[in-house]
Structure 1
Amino acid sequence: MELRKENILIVDDDINILELLQRHLKSWSYHTYKALSVKEAVQILRDTKIDLLITDLKMPQVDGSELIKFVSEHYPTLPKLVVTGYPSIQDSLVAIKSGVADYLTKPFTKDELKSAVTNSLGKRDNLNSSSSNLKPTNDNSYGEIIGKSEKINDVIQVIERVKDNKATIFIKGESGTGKELVARAIHYQGKFSRAPFIAVNCGGIPENLLEAELFGYTKGAFTGADKNRDGFFQAANGGTIFLDEIGNASKAVQTRLLRVLQEKEVVKLGAQKASKIDVRIIAATNGNLKEMIKKNTFREDLFYRLTVVEINVAPLRERKEDIPLLIEKFLFKYGVEYKDRFVRITQEATAILQRYNWPGNIRELENVIQRAVIMCNKIIGVEHLPDNLKFDISFPEDSLLPLKQIEKEYIQKVLNACNNNKTKAAEILGITRKTLRSKMEN
């Protein structure tokens, strides 16, 4: 899917309408930003080149008519489309006077929305002001991201849109798909690359310590706090903080994080005074946060503030054309690491690696290549691959054996090979003990 050149900002306090609008716009290949309030919308407008504003009028605290006035004064060439469920003559007059390009009343059809969006974009005063200069994606690498598949190109196109602004980004994907590489590409390919990049594995820090590590603490805030200390957020000031496995964060951490997103400030544990910070937040998970919201273990308001921009990193089984490029990358990596131990791989071995479904994704592929480099002499052949890879485990879509079961059986094989040492098995699979336990229990 080739993204259009336009960036569209949607503003509505109704989460259902926000998601409906985004879903329709994405189906037409537009790139979207989401905001639940006027305040959040203004922050995005200040940091990002937007080509169309779609906003509701009736919203708490500051309503949409104030946003329209603000945009008319500060971004006079930006077209504005109003979508409202409470039409009135007064609102219509305010909208028209403020130069609104079109006006939709809820409920509306998909065709009506498409027509209004097309009409609004067609009224732009400066057709050439759009941020359309995407980097070509015919190269096989982008930062540390390797691939030529359509799904990787989709990810790179979104990175190009967001790398030079500080909109909050949510990356979702299975364990081992390279979510941190995507976060690093967003940071290091953009204009903030010289600022700090701090990666935090929320699943790797004990729950009772995560709050202190993220936000810092003052002397005496808790037993063992013998001095004032900055947290990861203060360390990332001016740059980017990447919160991996955000689903593991406690409710207390979630509440504090919500304040950071809303107020752009941090309060240390034990402190009374807040400190302003300027940090881009990128969060990621391999879990289903919407299911966690239903179970009341993750805050819904935090979820929607984390997902201003969403990036979905596809599993390796959905982009198998990237496997030869990844193999080449890992052969070179371990050739250098093991002191000029550069080896080749046979076509037969490559074919087997492309046939396999990779439940552990890129991390599992890297582990297989690393082991093969060590075990072979000059050429990696079929005999240097693990036994479970040598059999075709691809199943038709209507197979009775679901992918989760395949993954579970593979993890069990790794556990058996490690004499049931869960720590070692998790290390080989590139996941945490907690994730391993969860996958085996489900």
Structure 2
Amino acid sequence: MPLEKENILIVDDDVQILELIQRHLKSLNYHTYKAISVKEAICILQDQTIDLLITDLQMPGVDGLQLVKYVSEHFPEIPKLAVTGYPSIDGALKAMKSGVMDYLTKPFTKEELKNAVEKSIALRPISHSKPGAASLRNPVFGELIGQSEAFKHVSNIIERVKENKATVFIQGESGTGKELVARAIHYMGKFAAAPFVAVNCGAIPENLLEAELFGYTKGSFTGANDDRSGFFQAANKGTLFLDEIGNASMATQLSLLRVLQEKEIMRVGSQKVEKIDVRVIAATNVDLKELIKNGRFREDLYYRLTVVQIDVPPLRDRKSDIPLLVDKFLFKYGVEYKDRIVKISDDALLALERYDWPGNIRELENSIQRAVIMCDKQVEIENLPSYLKYQIEFPKQDVFLPLKEVEKRHILKVLEAMDNNKTKAAEILQIDRKTLREKIK
């Protein structure tokens, strides 16, 4: 059964009910997100594209009815389905007036949930915006966000590869969001219900990487007390994301080449071949071609990995996206730290747009996180680190001056400090007054 296109957000403070609803929806091939509080739900709504909200009404603190009202105004295109264990006519009327499409009373069956979900999605509001307006209003692609030409180029490639299992290679500086690109490829395509497994090759010791990737058999090396599956088995039918692929040893590279060529793996210590169905997405922030020249990376593996290559631009090359990214992080950390949305002054935003961000989006997010903590109601320029504010670059002083020029400048400096009193200046310079007169001439 193919994966449905709809993403459903479930909100309930009862973890058991939350898990039950998620299990039912997954069996119906819906993609789900879950939250145990209204605050967590709002963060997900900001970061993800949600097609249906299912929320409990009775929750401690901020209740589900307030969430329904919030979504009705901020995300009017999202249909709402309410569930409650305390049914009342008054509660039902309030929920319906707030924009709820349907109302379920706990406990309910899987079939009742299925019918309510289908009904709510079928009755969702139809947007009458002009063509292209939605993309400008909500320029997101999975967890990625932007509307610059550089961003559009990346999102266009993602759109083309998300529905197939072609091997993808992502190149980009540290902090540009390479893993977010990989997740967008996986979760926005038809294989979203399958596993997504991310592995940082640089964080695993070289002598253990092959065993972690392909698994191992009992007794294959010291400490191998049982048979164990690897990351490839865990990602079967889905996507394996290999970050910092340049750190893999030559032996591991050879094994990876076999996987990509033959679609099969062999556990460490085993002679048995296992067939595998995994889409591999690799990423690095180093130049693999330089590693190939230095004999540290296999050229044949490089060409196997780069069936499709995505070059993620640094933030300095997509500065028009900075306001959108700032809004996203202000919302995220404003809700987390201040229980409200935090704004930013024009001067502070201008300072952020002026900076070149060598640490890319990760550095920008960290700066916004700090600024939200330090500010009161609005991020002002004084809440930003000093290196983000306007800097004066003084011209470099001449280092290699002729000795006469150095002497001349020093004498003039001393005379100026002594109000042109030659006697005092001569004493400081430790020369007689006659010598000083000659030098002045």
TM-score range, shorter chain: 0.5 to 0.7
Q: What pairs up with 1:8-87 in 2 under 5 angstroms?
A: none
Q: Note if 1:168 corresponds to 2:159.
A: no
| Corresponding residue for residue 248 of structure 2 | 249
Q: Map 1:345-360; keep pairs closer than 5 Å.
A: 345-360=344-359
- Structure 2 residue runs without a partner (length 5+): 1-131, 394-441
From the superposition, tell whether residues 190 and 393 of structure 1 become closer, same or farther in structure 2 (CA, over 3 Å).
farther
Provide Cα deviations, 1:321-358, integer angstroms capped at 9, x if missing partner. Answer: 00000000001111222251432110000000000000
CA offset digits 1:413-438 (Å, max 9, x no partner): xxxxxxxxxxxxxxxxxxxxxxxxxx
For the aligned residue pairs, the C-alpha RMSD in angstroms reads: 1.8
Q: Does residue 1:321 correspond to 2:338, yes or no? A: no
Name 1:331's counterpart in structure 2: 330
Partner of 2:283: 284
Name the residue aligned to 1:300: 299
Question: In structure 2, what residue type is equivalent to 1:174?
Answer: E
Call closer, same or farther: CA 1:383–1:216 in 2, change over 3 Å: same
SS in 2 for 1:373: helix
Q: Say which SS state the counterpart of residue 227 (structure 1) adopts.
A: coil
Amino acid at match of 1:140: P
Give deviations 1:210-230, integer Å, cap 9, x for gaps. Answer: 111111101001000000000
Q: What TM-score, normalized to structure 1? A: 0.57
The aligned counterpart of 2:419 is none
In 1, the alpha carbon distance for the partners of 2:365 and 2:142 equals 18
Question: What residue in structure 2 maps to residue 364 of structure 1?
Answer: 363
Gaps of at least 5 residues in structure 1 are 1-133, 395-442
Cα-to-partner distance string for 1:265-310 (whole Å, 9 max, x where unaligned)? 0100001011000000000000000000000000000000000001
* Whole-Å separation in 1 of the counterparts to 2:348 and 2:370: 14
What amino acid sits opposite 2:194 in the alignment? A
Which amino acid counterpart does residue 263 of structure 2 have in structure 1?
K
Distance 1:269 1:327, change over 3 A: same
Aligned position for 2:79: none
| Map 1:221-240 → 2, pairs under 5 A | 221-240=220-239
For residues 116-166 of structure 1, give each alpha carbon's deviation from its aligned partner in whole angstroms, at most 9, with x where no partner exists: xxxxxxxxxxxxxxxxxx9x9544111100100011101111111100000
| CA distance, structure 1, for counterparts of residue 391 and residue 268 of structure 2 | 54
Query: 2:175, 2:154 → 1: CA distance?
Result: 16
Q: Is the 8 A contact 1:356 1:392 kept in 2?
A: no
State the Cα deviation string for residues 218-276 of structure 1 (Å, max 9, x = none).
10010000000000000000000000110011111101100000000010000101100
Question: Which residue of the partner structure matches residue 397 of structure 2?
Answer: none
- The answer to whether 1:210 aligns with 2:209 is yes
Counting only pairs closer than 5 Å after superposition, residues 93-242 of structure 1 correspond to structure 2 as 138=136, 139-242=138-241
Q: What's the CA shift string for 1:354-400, capped at 9, x where partnerless? A: 00000000000000000001111111111111111113599xxxxxx
Q: In the aligned structure 2, how far is the partner of 1:330 from the partner of 1:313?
A: 20
Which residue pairs with 2:309 in the alignment? 310
Partner of 1:62: none
For the Cα contact (< 8 Å) 1:342–1:378, is it kept in 2? no
CA distance in structure 2 between the partners assigned to 1:339 and 1:355 by the alignment: 27
- Residue type of the partner of 2:196? F
Q: In 1, Cα distance between the equivalents of 2:390 and 2:218?
A: 59
Between the two proteins, the alignment pairs up a number of residues equal to 261
The TM-score normalised by the length of structure 2 is 0.58
> In 1, distance between residues paired with 2:224 and 2:333?
42
- Tell me what 1:130 maps to: none
Residue of structure 2 in register with 1:340 after alignment: 339
Taking the aligned partners of 1:376 and 1:214, their CA distance within structure 2 comes to: 45
Quick one: distance in 1 between partners of 2:209 and 2:272? 20
What is the rounded CA distance, in whole Å, between the counterparts of 1:377 and 1:341 in structure 2? 11
- Matches of 2:135 and 2:319, distance apart in 1: 18
CA deviation string 1:56-82 (max 9, x = no partner): xxxxxxxxxxxxxxxxxxxxxxxxxxx
The one-letter code matched in structure 2 to 1:332 is F
Residue type of the partner of 1:161? R
| 1: CA distance, partners of 2:376 / 2:252 | 50
3-state SS of 2:280 partner: strand
Q: Which has the larger radius of gyration?
A: 2
Partner residue, 2:32: none
Q: SS of the residue aligned with 1:243?
A: strand
Q: Following TM superposition, by how much is the alpha carbon of 1:207 offset from its aligned partner in structure 2, in angstroms? A: 1.4
Aligned identity (percent) is 69
**1:275 correspondence with 2:274:** yes
C-alpha contact (below 8 Å) 1:171/1:179 kept by paired residues: yes
Counterpart residue number, 2:409: none
Q: One-letter code of the match for 1:152?
A: F
Distance 1:324 1:257, change over 3 A: same
Cα distance in 1 between the residues matched to 2:286 and 2:372: 33
- Rounded to whole Å, the distance in 1 between the matches of 2:192 and 2:165 is 12
